[in-house]
Structure 1
Amino acid sequence: MDMAFAGELALNGALVGLFYALVGLGIVLIYKASGVANLSQGALAMVGGYVAWALATDAGLPAWLAIPLVLVVMFGLGVALERVVLRRMAGEAPIMIIMVTLGIEIMLRGVVPGIWGADVKRLDLGIGQDPIFLGPMLINTAYLVGGVVSLVLIGLSVLFFGTLHGIVLRAVSDDQIAAWSVGIRVEHAIALAWGISGVTAASAGILWGSVQGVDWTLSLFLVKGLAVAILGGLDSVPGLLVAGLLVGIAESLVAGLLDPVVGGGTRDIVAAVIILLTVLVRPYGLFGRIHIERV
């Protein structure tokens, strides 16, 4: 493999890794607020992609109007899931709550394609298809636009933790009982985290749906997002950025090196291997606090 080709793979992989970081962001936000790993994040990304397609195609709305509407709908869906389903689980063992989020993932993965169809649907956001030349390297335009948008959203989330609502979330993350004692409504903070999680998942689903089309496979973002969240540290938003880049680059390089040899499919294994190695070697991730407990 020559250096130009390796650089092309690494750069495009890094941009895709930012998509993964956007999915992982929702997982981290909910973990920071409630101490529970959200295993429905992949399905939320899928739902966001389907809703965007429905508004843009069935309703005929332009992308500049459809996308904000999708984000509002997904914020509401995230809040509704927390209030209707998760809040009923208050006081239960964390593993039971995690199983409920997995149940939401499985349910949405079956119901949503059943409503709109499982065939691949084209989502046109008006992003050009022509690649960008960077010296001898070709950069996928959709990857570049999606990567930039993901980077901006992750940056905004970091700034968010400096606002009043962000400080409340941080307080709830540190100690829910202490937060209650000073008048913070913990359940509202957790609902807010779920709402934001719905928005970040939908953003990733829309961006990736514009690249590969919209179908049930968008829900497979769950494994990628988990790999990024675990590697970066489940309580570290900045760690998501580094972890996303590492996962994306690793996937791209491994696929570029091994797919021609074994016939394909190696990209999908990388995230699972990263999860396994991180849990075994450094269970608190690259930037997580050491006292984190994994379930």
Structure 2
Amino acid sequence: MDLIYYLELAVNGAMGGLMYALVAMGIVLIYKSSSVPNLAQGALTMAAAYIVLAFSDALGIAPLLAIPLAALAMFLAGMLIERVALRRLAGWPIVMVLMMTLGLDIFIRAITLTFWGGSARTLQLGIPDTPLFIGPLLINRAYLVGAVVALVFFAIFRFFFRTRRGILLRAIADDYVASWSVGISVEHGVALSWALSSLTATAAGALWGSVQTVDQGLSLLLLKGLTVAVLGGLDSIGGAVLAGLLLGIVENILAGYLDPLLGGGTRELVVALVLILTIMIRPFGLFGKHDIERI
């Protein structure tokens, strides 16, 4: 019985971890094309969930049908963010751009609080609530759908970064000045990365909004996504997927064991420890590029 219980925790944790990886992919996309850790990804994920509900309410359609409209709106919003807030910081010290993304996080959370308030709202995507058993294991259907979506996004981005456009984005991340000198439009490349990251945030926001409720708490997914991105390597899409699997399994098993003993709250502790230990022991992550600079 115990073996089945922990196996069930591991399987559901792995699928939940892939949903964390979906948030992490948005962070990796921007870092992979601009070398900037995006601290606004959690707020973008939350805003996307609210926008899905807004389109659903305004047009009187199911939230599932509102996702493409929200995705288009978020895609355009990502390009607008780069044009208005980040383009003027191109070539500035990285800490300035990092602080700008932090400011964006605060601004987006304030805007959503102003328009939609702080009360929680439900987001129904039509995923059945009935139990799903695979053998003796009880599987969370929402996590299963989220895991499949995350793997689809992973496959798309893996292909994208092998195309000419994807290679140009990687060149921009390596050196802005060199990219400008050979005629690469750095501004358009970074804008595309923000648009794609916002598109990913739409999928993550809709899925996590259906699992949880849509409220300000969704922005806290930044911690999970950032931990996965750092553990896997900030410039590795594949690393984000593997790290998401690892974090989800470890988090779920330890929480399943420790929560009854300690009264709960161990999930956040596990995530924080993983982030701290990764930075201390392997700051470039499992599959990140290890840059060594001679001073």
Write out per-residue CA displacement over residues 174-223 of structure 1, whole angstroms, 9 at most, x where no aligned residue. 33222222211011100100000101112101101011121111101100
Question: How much does 1:290 deviate?
Answer: 1.1
Q: Secondary structure at the match of 2:243?
A: helix
Contact 2:13/2:249 (8 A) holds in 1: yes
Could you say which residue in structure 2 is the equivalent of 1:39? 39
Please, which moves more after superposition, 109-118 or 235-244?
109-118
Could you say which residue in structure 2 is the equivalent of 1:57? 57
Could you say which residue in structure 2 is the equivalent of 1:218? 218
Please, which moves more after superposition, 86-95 or 225-234?
86-95
Question: How much does 1:75 deviate?
Answer: 0.8
Please, which moves more after superposition, 106-115 or 149-158?
106-115
Could you say which residue in structure 2 is the equivalent of 1:28? 28
Return closer, same or farther for 1:292/1:25 CA change in 2, 3 Å cut-off. farther
Write out per-residue CA displacement over residues 56-91 of structure 1, whole angstroms, 9 at most, x where no aligned residue. 234312345311111111111111111100112223
RMSD between superposed Cα atoms in Å? 1.4
Alignment partners' CA distance in 2, 1:54 and 1:133:
34
Question: How much does 1:292 deviate?
Answer: 7.1
Gap regions ≥5 residues in structure 1:
none
Query: Alignment identity in percent?
Result: 54
Question: How much does 1:132 deviate?
Answer: 1.0
Please, which moves more after superposition, 64-73 or 232-241?
64-73
TM-score, normalising length from structure 2? Answer: 0.96
Look up the equivalent residue of 1:170 and give its one-letter code. Answer: R
Q: Secondary structure at the match of 1:138?
A: strand
Could you say which residue in structure 2 is the equivalent of 1:205? 205
TM-score, normalising length from structure 1? Answer: 0.96
Map residues 171-210 of structure 1 onto 2, 5 A cutoff: 171-210=171-210
Contact 2:55/2:66 (8 A) holds in 1: yes
Look up the equivalent residue of 1:217 and give its one-letter code. Answer: G
Write out per-residue CA displacement over residues 248-269 of structure 1, whole angstroms, 9 at most, x where no aligned residue. 1111111101110111111112
Could you say which residue in structure 1 is the equivalent of 2:96? 96
Look up the equivalent residue of 1:123 and give its one-letter code. Answer: L
Aligned residues: 293
Gap regions ≥5 residues in structure 2:
none
Map residues 1-295 of structure 1 onto 2, 5 A cutoff: 2-291=2-291
Contact 2:120/2:215 (8 A) holds in 1: yes
Return closer, same or farther for 1:181/1:227 CA change in 2, 3 Å cut-off. same
Look up the equivalent residue of 2:45 and give its one-letter code. Answer: A
Q: Secondary structure at the match of 1:219?
A: helix
Contact 2:53/2:63 (8 A) holds in 1: no
Contact 1:130/1:140 (8 A) holds in 2: no
